[in-house]
Structure 1
Amino acid sequence: MKSFKTGGQAVVALHRKSAQLDAVASRASKNVAYFGVFQLGTPPKQFTGCFDTGSSDTWVPSTSCVNPSCMTHNRYSTTASSTFNATTHPFEITYGTGAVAGSVAYETLTMGSGDATIKVPHQGFGMVYDSSMDFLSASCDGLFGLGFPQLSNMRTLPAFFNMMTQGLLDAPTFAIYLNPNPAAEPAGEVQFGGMNTARFTGTVVWTPVIEKSYWTVALGGAKVNGQFVSLQATTAIMDSGTTAILVSATDAAAIHAGIPGVAYDRQGGYYSITGGCDSLSSLPDIAFVIDGKTYSMPPVQWTQSMQGSTGDATNQCISAIIPGGDDHSVILGDNFMRSWYTVYTYDIKTRTAYVGLAEAAAMAQ
């Protein structure tokens, strides 16, 4: 019988899609901006996945899928692995943009490399047989869900929770680092079973998770240039699968109201920065108050550049705090996470969860 080690850590380097992301698409859906490598099967077959705290399912294209959006990616073959286990359970998932369908299977999942490797036997995942054209040019082959089991469309135990229940981790945590420099490579890393102290400064501050499907924490408002701004939203969701920061139209207006040189573009559905990206030095910091503590972002993190219609870079800058979200929650996506190293932990015995935050450090080149 094959044995697996108990206790360990795995680190997955993250890369970023090179093209700038369209602001309207960022507002409307999850975008595949950050991706890393994992393996499925015996022998292991490599896939790239978007590591998403806002989803709980892991899926990859199957060789049975002949749609163009599958054919442009690595595909999983049921006959190429000795540890494949089929089920008869179908699944369908519709995202803000795009949809996938297929069947649930179980397989050995491998994370990391060398001494920092974790093997997860009998991991549930989705074999995609049908994928919409939205995924044709996606930077990853599939999705790697990091949310809670309650959020799973497939009704399978997400990999992180499977690692914990099988005793495969040194600590019941995973941590996400996104490089504060959005143009740098590697763009960041996901670490399972521990934290990397070189990726943050100061101490990690722990905040209780108040709703265990998404990683949801209590939100007490925002600050612009140190001045408090009251928000309708009372919760914040840590979502590495969302590119920008998504808020309600009312909260977006409240946040931007006190910032000179920021105007709402009704046609685009975002707030534009007068003077473009060259004027960032004149903009204030924006912060969110989480569980009574203030987490600030400099202008370079709460803004993003736009592409011209031909794909050429322009000087146009917009706010990455985009209207169109829920009245009750703010989604803190990648723009926030480039300022704050996030750690996620769950206690199986007490069923309590926490998110830890610490200031992200620049990655040495």
Structure 2
Amino acid sequence: MNLTPAVVLLLTLVSVCAAQVVSLPFSTARRVPWQHKSVGKMLEPPRPLRESLHRPIKHFSKPYQKPIRDFRINATTRDIKLENYFNKLYCGSIHIGTPEQDFFVALDTETPITWVPSIHSPSKPKFHLFTRTSKPYNNESSSTYTPNGRPFGVDYGPGQVSGYCSQDNVVIGGATVNNQVFGEAIIKPKMFEDSINDGILGMGFGGSNTGKEISLFDNMVNQGLLPAPVFSTYFNRYGSNGPDSMLTLGGTNPKYYTGDFTYVDLSRPDRWQFEIDRIQVSNDLLVSCWNQCQAVVDSSSSVIIGPSFEVDRLNRRLGATPLERDPKLYTFERSQLKSLPDLEFVVNGKKLIMTGEDYANQIPGPHPNQYFSGIVGKRFDSEETPVWILGLSFLRTYYTQFDKGNRRIGFAKAATFPKKFFQLPHWGHTAADS
């Protein structure tokens, strides 16, 4: 029996203040695989490019390096405005080179590498309805370009993006980051060819751990463009009457959260990963975490992902029913939505509560009165450490502070706003400066 378009969509999608602010518009569009992807790394030459592109991807291993330069006293916090595209991904405009070349990139808190398509890629420029034709980066057109040539690669599960590094000026949120190293993508899997965004804005922890290239965020800190090595995210719900989604660089913005932050130290030196004490449903213990539960926050995943056995028990306890044709997917009846129990992640002794509206994915199921659960199981290899991936359904519920200087993450309840009946997405480039 054929899967419905909604099921196919979910399977595809389950794998970007007291100080002055500057805005960069974003929107969600890239289809990213639900599978956990490895953290990308700038790979070492001097092998020929063709040979290097097929070299296995490695994880960062060195501890976080403190910024080379002290923070400037007059640096400002920068609010990067985001636009929501159907609650699936959040993308926006950056500008590279002199004169500036515009790119629509997806915010990714798991990958530290920023990359855009290269003019040397065999892929043809793509056209997107309503707004624009995508153009690849042309280093020959930029007077500030400096060759680098170091190969890079990022594994996205069903495919790998690979190419070589280049160095140029990058403008984000009105700030110019000089001599930034980024990836020029030569090879991209089909999921990137079919999506509206050109590349990735990498906000993963890695960055300077390579000892070679420094991430865009770290360079902003090093060049005195930010007051502190902190960034924060607010992801609104599609159709909300509230403000746009927001990536705040250099601090937090109280407009987008309520109450105090719950902080937890990172459990790894190269990733936004931390420990969960336990997982509960309305105070009933479901996952004890006696052997430690590890979790990462990942803006490239639209849902919450966990070990299959635990996710099955969790979904059943929440009142979801397995889909007959694909038992790893669960659905809720429309009539259940207002009475679903709370899902509770206990972190550093504090409950992070998600209501049914938070974890019941608003993707129509196989029948008009059904909705998919936003919690999906994954089978981990025997050598893998199971990791819970807290994707956008979690990140929309909690305003998240990524504190690289103190190696911790903070969670505060996201501000809520009334919903609109319907809202068309904003596709394409818009002005970055406020």
Deviation at 1:172, TM superposition (A): 1.9
1:136-155: CA deviation from partner (whole Å, max 9, x where unpaired):
22131101111122698895
TM superposition shift of 1:56: 0.9
Q: Within 2, Cα distance between the matches of 1:224 and 1:17?
A: 32
**Equivalent residue for 1:140, pick from 197, 210, 233:** 197
Shift in CA distance, 88/14, structure 1 to aligned 2, threshold 3 Å? closer
Is the aligned partner of 1:246 residue 2:305? Answer: yes
1:111 paired residue among 172, 181, 189 = 172
SS at match of 1:204: strand
Per-residue deviation, residues 48-93 of structure 1 (Å, max 9, x unmatched): 1111111111110111223147676331111221111112222232
8 Å Cα contact 1:219/1:289 also seen in 2: yes
Q: Distance in 2 between matches of 1:47 and 1:279?
A: 42
Once superposed, what is the RMSD of the aligned Cα atoms?
A: 2.9
Distance 2:211 2:301 in 1: 21
1:223 equivalent in structure 2: 280
Q: Determine the C-alpha separation between the residues in 1 that align with 2:102 and 2:417.
A: 26
Cα offset, 1:214, TM superposition: 1.7
Would the aligned equivalents of 2:109 and 2:202 in 1 still touch at CA under 8 Å?
A: yes
Counterpart for residue 40 of structure 1: 96
The aligned amino acid for 2:147 is A
Q: Partner of 2:326: helix, strand, or coil? A: coil
Question: Which residue is equivalent to 1:356?
Answer: 410
Q: Deviations over 1:295-325 (max 9, x none)?
A: 011111111133578xxx9433111110005
Deviation per residue, 1:77-111 (Å, 9 max, x gap)? 11221111112222232212332221101111111
Q: 1:149 aligns to what? A: 206
Q: Could you report, residue by residue, the CA deviation over 1:15-48 in whole angstroms, capped at 9, with x for unpaired residues? A: 2239xx7xxx754367961112211112222211
Identity of aligned residues (%): 26
Distance across 1 between alignment mates of 2:364 and 2:185:
32
Unaligned runs of 5+ in 1: 1-6
Q: CA deviation at 1:216?
A: 0.8
| 1:53 aligned partner | 109
Q: Does 1:333 align with 2:345?
A: no
* Matched-pair contact (CA < 8 Å) for 2:266–2:274: yes
Asked whether the 8 Å contact 1:13–1:37 carries over to 2, the reply is yes
Q: Hey, what does 1:28 align to over in structure 2?
A: 35
Q: Which residues of 2 match residues 316-327 of structure 1 at below 5 A? A: 316-324=370-378, 326=380
Change (3 A) 1:150 1:17: closer
**Residue among 301, 317, 330 paired with 2:358:** 301
CA distance in 1, matches of 2:211, 2:265: 27
Task: Kindly indicate whether residue 73 of structure 2 is the aligned counterpart of residue 14 of structure 1.
Answer: no
CA contact under 8 A between 2:145 and 2:166: conserved in structure 1? yes
SS at match of 1:134: helix
Equivalent position to 2:331, from 252, 273, 287:
273
- Secondary structure, counterpart of 2:149 in structure 1: strand
TM-score normalised by length of structure 2 = 0.71
Deviations 1:129-175 (A, max 9, x none): 22222212213110111112269889521111111222220222111
Aligned to 1:3: none
Q: Give the Cα–Cα distance (whole angstroms) in 2 for the partners of residues 270 and 154 of structure 1.
A: 41
- Structure 2 unaligned spans of 5+: 1-18, 38-86, 128-132, 421-434
Tell me which protein shows more strand as a share of its residues: 1
Task: Rate the CA distance shift 1:274–1:193 in 2: closer, same or farther, 3 A.
Answer: closer
Query: What is aligned with 1:4?
Result: none
Q: Indicate how the Cα distance of structure 1 residues 128 and 194 shifts in structure 2: closer, same or farther if over 3 A, else same.
A: same
Which amino acid counterpart does residue 296 of structure 2 have in structure 1? I
Aligned residue pairs total 340
CA distance in structure 2 between the aligned counterparts of 1:44 and 1:269, rounded to whole angstroms: 49
Give the Cα separation in 1 of the matches to 2:260 and 2:233: 15
* SS of structure 2 residue aligned to 1:254: helix
Does structure 2 retain, via aligned residues, the 8 Å contact 1:98–1:135? Answer: no
Counterpart pick for 1:204 among 247, 257, 261: 261
1:344 shift after superposition: 0.9
Task: Give yes or no for the alignment of 1:189 onto 2:216.
Answer: no
Instruction: Identify which of 180, 191, 208 aligns with 1:123.
Output: 180
CA distance in 2, matches of 1:191, 1:55: 18
The question of whether the paired residues in 1 share the 8 Å contact of 2:262 and 2:350 is answered with: no
